[in-house]
């Protein structure tokens, strides 16, 4: 499950970078980045709790 969160976070960051530099889709891309950061933070917090 942890690897899946990292995979999703990486995909969302790549989509954000593509959208920001290539397509510039507006606020949707920034929301994707926020979701990716939250996913990574959740993984870090859960890893520290073990």
Quote the pLDDT of residue 10: 82
Instruction: Output the pTM of the full model.
Output: 0.48
Residues 9-29 pLDDT 10s = 888 888 777 776 666 656 676
pLDDT tens string 27-48: 676 777 888 888 888 888 887 7
pLDDT at 22: 64
The CA-CA-CA angle for residues 32, 35, 39, to 5°, reads 140
């Amino acid at each position: 499950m942890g690897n899946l969160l990292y995979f999703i976070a990486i995909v969302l960051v790549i989509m954000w970078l593509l959208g920001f530099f290539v397509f510039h889709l507006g606020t949707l891309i920034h929301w994707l980045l926020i979701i990716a950061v939250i996913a990574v933070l959740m993984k870090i917090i859960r890893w520290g709790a073990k």
